[in-house]
């Protein structure tokens, strides 16, 4: 068995402020957030191996400026660390399932801690074939293009609820309740990790109950930016201008889009 794990930093328990996650975060707060996320990743790996002892687990650090504490990383997993990379991030049809750890909700979600879509500073929304998506939805469709189901997500309650709108049977571990953009009611780290471990094992044991989701080609991606943000770099990479803040990409392959 081969499992692909996508991580992000904003969805871990005890992480709910942008000054814990962004480039300008203090070294101490960012380092603590990375330790919290890495412990949750390790808990998920433990759950996977509990249910499937010979599973191969490949983890991609999906947080923009890095979210994994490599010195604390699980000894039985492998890591795709931060570096130049593009979709599909070495995910392919040899994998049996995808896990999301530390996931946040899409931009604009009410009371969702650290909610954003790819860039918390620039992006107002993404749409795929007319459907509003966040990072979970876009990458779940990416996985589905290889026939790989997304079977597990951990994060805040809004992120898990969002995931269930795309993958109703997904196994979700809610580690905090969103109270605002930078406010949440958290489980303790130990409680969050134990919930993730148990739910990850359950997801592996029941993974065949979860089906891949797919986006019918041709694929159209609409990206709208926040006020004052430039669309020029999108236009240079082949987008069509809709208005001063909105562009559209079209492709027969979802992995050619900005996902």
Region 193-212: what's the mean pLDDT? 98
Q: What is the pLDDT of residue 249?
A: 98
Report strand pairing: 97-103 vs 2-7: parallel
Evaluate whether the domain defined by 2-105+135-212 bears CATH number 1.20.1050.10.
no
pTM: 0.96
What's the mean per-residue pLDDT of the chain?
97
Q: What is the pLDDT of residue 183?
A: 98
Region 96-116: what's the mean pLDDT? 98
Q: Quick check: 25 pLDDT over 80?
A: no
Domain boundaries, the chain: 2-105+135-212
CA distance 152 to 212: 12
Q: Quick check: 43 pLDDT over 90?
A: yes
pLDDT tens track for 58-90: 999 999 999 999 999 999 999 999 999 999 999
On whether the CB atoms of residues 196 and 173 are closer than 8 A, the answer is: yes
Residue 151: closest CA among 79, 211, 198: 211
Q: What is the pLDDT of residue 97?
A: 98
Look at 23 and 100; give whichever has higher pLDDT: 100
Q: What is the pLDDT of residue 23?
A: 83
pLDDT tens track for 142-200: 999 999 999 999 999 999 999 999 999 999 999 999 999 999 999 999 999 999 999 99
């Amino acid at each position: 068995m081969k499992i692909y794990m996508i991580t992000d930093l904003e969805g871990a328990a005890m992480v709910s402020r942008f000054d814990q996650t962004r480039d300008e975060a203090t070294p101490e707060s960012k380092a603590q957030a990375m330790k919290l996320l890495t412990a949750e990743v390790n808990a998920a790996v433990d759950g996977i191996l509990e249910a499937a002892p010979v599973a191969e687990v490949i983890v991609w650090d999906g947080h923009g400026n890095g979210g994994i504490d490599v010195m604390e990383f699980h000894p039985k997993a492998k890591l795709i660390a931060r570096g130049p990379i593009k979709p599909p991030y070495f995910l392919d049809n040899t994998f049996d399932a995808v896990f999301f750890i530390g996931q946040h909700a899409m931009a604009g979600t009410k009371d969702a801690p650290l909610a954003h879509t790819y860039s918390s500073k620039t992006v107002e929304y993404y749409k795929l074939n007319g459907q509003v998506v966040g990072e979970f939805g876009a990458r779940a469709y990416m996985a589905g293009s290889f026939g790989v189901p997304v079977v597990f997500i951990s994060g805040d309650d809004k992120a898990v609820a969002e995931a269930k709108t795309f993958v109703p049977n997904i196994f979700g571990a809610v580690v905090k309740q969103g109270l605002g953009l930078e406010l949440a009611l958290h489980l303790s780290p130990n409680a969050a990790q134990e919930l993730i471990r148990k739910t990850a094992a359950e997801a592996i044991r029941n993974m065949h109950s979860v089906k891949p989701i797919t986006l019918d080609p041709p694929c159209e991606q609409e990206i709208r930016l926040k006020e004052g943000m430039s669309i020029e770099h999108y236009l240079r990479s082949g987008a069509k201008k809709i208005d001063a803040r909105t562009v559209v990409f079209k492709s027969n392959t979802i992995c050619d889009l900005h996902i």
